[in-house]
Structure 1
Amino acid sequence: MFYAFIHGLVSLALRLFYRVKVQAPADGFDGPLMFVGNHPNSLIDPALVFILTRRHVTFLAKEPLFRMPVIGWILKGLDALPVYRKQDHPSQMTKNEGTLDAARAALAEGRAITLFPEGRSHSEPSLGELKTGAARIALGAARQGAPVRIIPVGFTYEEKNVFRSEALVEVGPAIEVLPFLRGEGEEAEREAVRTLTARIAAELKALTVNLDRWEDLPVIQLAERLYAFRQGEKVGSERLKHWARGLQLLQAGQPERFEQVRSALMSYHRRLAVVQATPEDVALTYHPRGVFTFIVKNLAVVCLGLPLFLAGLVLFGLPYQVPPLVARRSELDLQGTVKFLVSLVLVFVWWPGLVAVFWALGGWGWGVGALLGLPPLALFTLYFSERWSVLWHDITVFFALGNRSRLKALLQADGAQLATELEQLASEYRSQLERSSASGA
């Protein structure tokens, strides 16, 4: 019962906090399973596994989390298993054998477990070196006769510490563990662990964005926007990993051409930033009728929604400011988790508090009205604030480009030239990317 409640609550809350996009098979999550993933966003990463399956999943988490208020209580209620890391408890590392035995036993019983073989949450631009624990657990259960499968999961965040940003959860093909068993003896066991760990790393790299440096992130993001716009498609986080891998191949094979393309993209990125525009904005054509429709439509939205928005600001302005303030001193990979948890706690404190105030001031009718009406009002306030940001962006771009036809024409021409170059690169490297993905390179 406790697991089902937490599962439903966290799944709903995550979909409200992020724009969660899942690419996974509709079924196939039966039998003894081990979910493994990259680890860029602390407790958010394992929480997103809730969205993948309704099965009871046993989590492995670092031991210090079990001693934290609320979080520790939840982890114990979910029957999570503690992992003792050297940097936390050098003298208690031997306790990990008990954790590994419990994880192997769970798989042998046909259950599902989740762990993150990087061993830590981080904000580095590529997948870290994997620990061997995942392979050792899976192989140990397989030696007991369990048909264990490892499910690689890639987590890609648009802006992991920003409310309502996109979170992509992508599931790769299952890895059958039994074929990795290589006979008896310590040497055979070491080889099996090494080979399986390498296979897990290859599958996770295929599901994630891996960069040599964070400075290249704007390059691949702009490349995706230009390419998607030229193809008439929506921008997608899932294609960023292909751009990252493609540019790495270009750099290795044609370093001079890579520097030319990178320099051109960075220059275009800086010029767009000056006018606060995107490639889509540059392609817009302003007609009097369209401008009039835009003005009337958004005035209607403002006039109709502004009273409710102001009411929402009065009621929720203070709690909306708390999560960013609390999270700003945290490391980047922890900020999303802190904001999410603080927001969740505030919901269960602020909402009942407001209901009690309305009940005391207006009686049970006002109390029931507040109980039912405050959640939709809170969500509308957030939606309206996002809508206002989009509206302000459109207005800014209109005044920046609407009457500067020469600047706009130059940006359009340069964007078209870059898009053509990117299409050519995509065509040249598509087969090579497919081969490298198939080989796990």
Structure 2
Amino acid sequence: MPFGVGHDIVVQISRSALWSFFSEIKTENIHNVPSEGPLIVAATHHNMIIDPAVLSVTFPENRPLHYWAKDTMFKHPQAKRFLENCGVVPVDRTTKNNTLLYAATYEVLRLNEAIAVFPEGTSHTLPCLGTFKDGTSFAALEYAKLVTEDPRPNAEGKIPQKATVLPVGIVYPEKSKYRSTVIVRYGKPITVDSYMATYAEDPKKAAKQLTKDIETSIRALTVNAPNWDVRDAAEMARWLLFPGEHGIMKDYVDVTQSLINAMIDLGKKTPEVESLQHSLKIYKLELDLLGLKDSHIAKYNEKNITAASTTIELLRRTVASLIDLPLFLPGLVAHLPLYVAGYFAGKFEIYEEVRAQNKIFFGLALVPLIYMIAFLWAWYALFGGTFFGFFVALATLGVFVWYHVVSIDERYEDFKDLIGRWRLFDAVVLGRGMWRRKQRILALKKLREENVSNLRWMVKTYKDTNKDTHHVWTAVRARVQALNAAGKLSGRRKALARQFEWAF
């Protein structure tokens, strides 16, 4: 089933949308991806339509991917033409005959093309993987059976091969947050040969075993916790142990999963670790309720949260923002409708897995209008509506959009930090708030110091006896060695080095 121009258009739109929403999309272990042959890409599904967009945009060697869709979507002739042009494959869910169910899929695989599926079935927001369905496994095994029984050459004159299953974990540290990151991790390919004997005798048993192996592989590529309490505690521990690193940290998945495993294992044996886990959860909950981030409290590690220190920090941040504002203000004003629409798109959506999708859809709907108005204004107001001015205005708009997107990250973080400073100032200096927020913030600072101290104690105490804690210690030491190798430090690196002094 060849791909048409519709596929290229959708991928380019997806690329632009993802580039403008996420600050970075990282790929890991791309050497695991087969460069040729029929391929079934089995991926996690935590972020609605964002998941296929991320896969299609980042898949190695720009190899196009087919996707499954209900055959009812193909009933209208125009819809059918567009979906087929984009490479979407119909699946007849009304039949229990695998050959009919996946007929279009087999045609794709016979052409040595790749199809991406989501074994969890539906998108979700859980602290772990959802329940895997057997559809992916049945498709792979039934196709292998058909190839064995009917090895006739495909349209290119080549003997068809059995399809390989490629596990993929798509990890979102903060999946609905603007300018967050995405991590795409490729697992080792799974061949179906070892399941075929069982499939001949008991198809359901073989499919269940393959599904289990796919799930095991994807679990190793992602972050999984038994509940949100453990997941949130581990995320908070990561923030405290690795200050300044958020979704951009190179070993996010491995470190976060190691913290989850360590807290579960040690929490069963050690009351101190169990208490630490609960304390980390409380700390995160209080931060959320006060509208603050750990970085706001961390600024006051070595001094009290006083009226003077709070005011100085606020003024420092405000002045820095005002100095930078003239450079950023034109882009901010032009894109303000996008930010407002994105804010409300996320604010009134109860399902987190839908928020990023809605924000991007609103952006795609408004972008053409905003950029058209900006272009016409530049063409007529700045360049007199001339023929030459048309091209200059077009180039100016392109540079304007590029500059805004590439420069938004640091300013967006600074803006969120400034909001936090104002909240601290409001609570500590102005003393407003019916819940005595000043006392809560002072207590929060104390709780943070206790959590940091206890976390470091846990890592140091169990680094030689618990493999997951040892992995966290190794990650900390890697930062220490990098800082030591930097020689004389200054600025942010010097401040960061102070946070790792406990491990020097």
The TM-score range, normalised by the shorter chain, is: 0.7 to 0.9
CA 1:84 to 1:342, structure 2 compared with 1: closer, same or farther past 3 Å?
farther
Q: 1:363 aligns with which of 385, 390, 411?
A: 385
Give 1:264 deviation, angstroms: 3.0
Partner of 2:484: none
Give 1:126 deviation, angstroms: 2.0
After TM superposition, the structure 1 stretch with the greater mean CA deviation from structure 2, 267-276 or 345-354, is 267-276
Q: 1:45 aligns with which of 48, 51, 54?
A: 51
Give 1:243 deviation, angstroms: 2.6
- Deviation digits for residues 241-287 of structure 1 (CA, Å, limit 9, x no counterpart): 33333434445x5385653232232344456666945279258658x
CA–CA separation in structure 1 for the residues paired with 2:234 and 2:283: 12
- Percent identity reads 23
- Deviation digits for residues 199-257 of structure 1 (CA, Å, limit 9, x no counterpart): 011112222222332233320111222333599x9485313233333434445x53856
SS at 1:247 equivalent: helix
Q: 1:389 aligns with which of 413, 416, 419?
A: 416
After TM superposition, the structure 1 stretch with the greater mean CA deviation from structure 2, 47-56 or 293-302, is 293-302
Partner of 2:401: 375
> Are 2:191 and 1:176 equivalent residues in the alignment?
yes
Alignment of structure 1 residues 148-227 onto 2, 5 Å: 148-182=163-197, 185-187=200-202, 189-227=203-241
CA 1:118 to 1:284, structure 2 compared with 1: closer, same or farther past 3 Å?
same
CA 1:326 to 1:284, structure 2 compared with 1: closer, same or farther past 3 Å?
closer
Conserved 8 A contact 1:224-1:235:
no
- Deviation digits for residues 33-56 of structure 1 (CA, Å, limit 9, x no counterpart): 111111110111111112022112
Total equivalences in the alignment = 422
Partner of 1:338: 358
- Deviation digits for residues 96-136 of structure 1 (CA, Å, limit 9, x no counterpart): 85451221332233211100011111112221211111001
After TM superposition, the structure 1 stretch with the greater mean CA deviation from structure 2, 155-164 or 5-14, is 5-14
SS at 2:339 equivalent: helix
Conserved 8 A contact 1:308-1:377:
no
Structure 1 counterpart of 2:453, one-letter code = A
SS at 1:170 equivalent: strand
> Are 2:75 and 1:34 equivalent residues in the alignment?
no
After TM superposition, the structure 1 stretch with the greater mean CA deviation from structure 2, 379-388 or 51-60, is 379-388
CA–CA separation in structure 2 for the residues paired with 1:209 and 1:62: 30
Structure 1 counterpart of 2:59, one-letter code = L
Give 1:315 deviation, angstroms: 2.4
Structure 1 counterpart of 2:242, one-letter code = A
Partner of 1:324: 343
CA 1:352 to 1:277, structure 2 compared with 1: closer, same or farther past 3 Å?
closer
Structure 1 counterpart of 2:342, one-letter code = P
> Are 2:75 and 1:61 equivalent residues in the alignment?
no
Unaligned runs of 5+ in 2: 149-160, 304-310, 429-440, 472-504
Conserved 8 A contact 1:148-1:178:
no
SS at 2:175 equivalent: coil
Alignment of structure 1 residues 287-302 onto 2, 5 Å: 299=319, 302=322
Give 1:312 deviation, angstroms: 2.6
CA–CA separation in structure 2 for the residues paired with 1:370 and 1:161: 34
CA–CA separation in structure 1 for the residues paired with 2:81 and 2:340: 27
SS at 2:115 equivalent: strand
Conserved 8 A contact 2:199-2:207:
no
- Deviation digits for residues 7-32 of structure 1 (CA, Å, limit 9, x no counterpart): 34423431331122221224633222
- Deviation digits for residues 47-75 of structure 1 (CA, Å, limit 9, x no counterpart): 1112022112111135577699x998864
CA 1:294 to 1:429, structure 2 compared with 1: closer, same or farther past 3 Å?
same
Alignment of structure 1 residues 73-88 onto 2, 5 Å: 75-83=83-91
CA–CA separation in structure 2 for the residues paired with 1:406 and 1:183: 61
Give 1:432 deviation, angstroms: 10
Give 1:421 deviation, angstroms: 1.1
CA–CA separation in structure 2 for the residues paired with 1:163 and 1:72: 34
After TM superposition, the structure 1 stretch with the greater mean CA deviation from structure 2, 53-62 or 387-396, is 387-396
CA–CA separation in structure 2 for the residues paired with 1:300 and 1:432: 40
Alignment of structure 1 residues 270-289 onto 2, 5 Å: 276=292, 278=294, 281=298
SS at 1:244 equivalent: helix
After TM superposition, the structure 1 stretch with the greater mean CA deviation from structure 2, 40-49 or 263-272, is 263-272
What's the Cα RMSD here? Answer: 4.2
CA 1:394 to 1:422, structure 2 compared with 1: closer, same or farther past 3 Å?
farther
CA 1:387 to 1:414, structure 2 compared with 1: closer, same or farther past 3 Å?
closer
Conserved 8 A contact 1:308-1:381:
no
CA 1:424 to 1:6, structure 2 compared with 1: closer, same or farther past 3 Å?
farther
Q: 2:128 aligns with which of 101, 119, 126?
A: 126
CA–CA separation in structure 2 for the residues paired with 1:324 and 1:171: 32
Conserved 8 A contact 1:152-1:204:
yes
Unaligned runs of 5+ in 1: 86-91, 435-441
SS at 2:130 equivalent: coil
SS at 1:3 equivalent: helix
Conserved 8 A contact 1:36-1:115:
yes
CA–CA separation in structure 1 for the residues paired with 2:71 and 2:257: 32
Conserved 8 A contact 1:153-1:204:
yes
SS at 2:41 equivalent: strand
After TM superposition, the structure 1 stretch with the greater mean CA deviation from structure 2, 120-129 or 381-390, is 381-390
Give 1:300 deviation, angstroms: 5.8
Structure 1 counterpart of 2:215, one-letter code = A
SS at 1:128 equivalent: coil
Conserved 8 A contact 1:309-1:380:
no
CA–CA separation in structure 2 for the residues paired with 1:245 and 1:284: 28
Structure 1 counterpart of 2:331, one-letter code = G
SS at 1:182 equivalent: helix
Conserved 8 A contact 1:282-1:412:
no
CA–CA separation in structure 2 for the residues paired with 1:363 and 1:230: 48
Conserved 8 A contact 2:313-2:421:
no
Partner of 2:102: 100
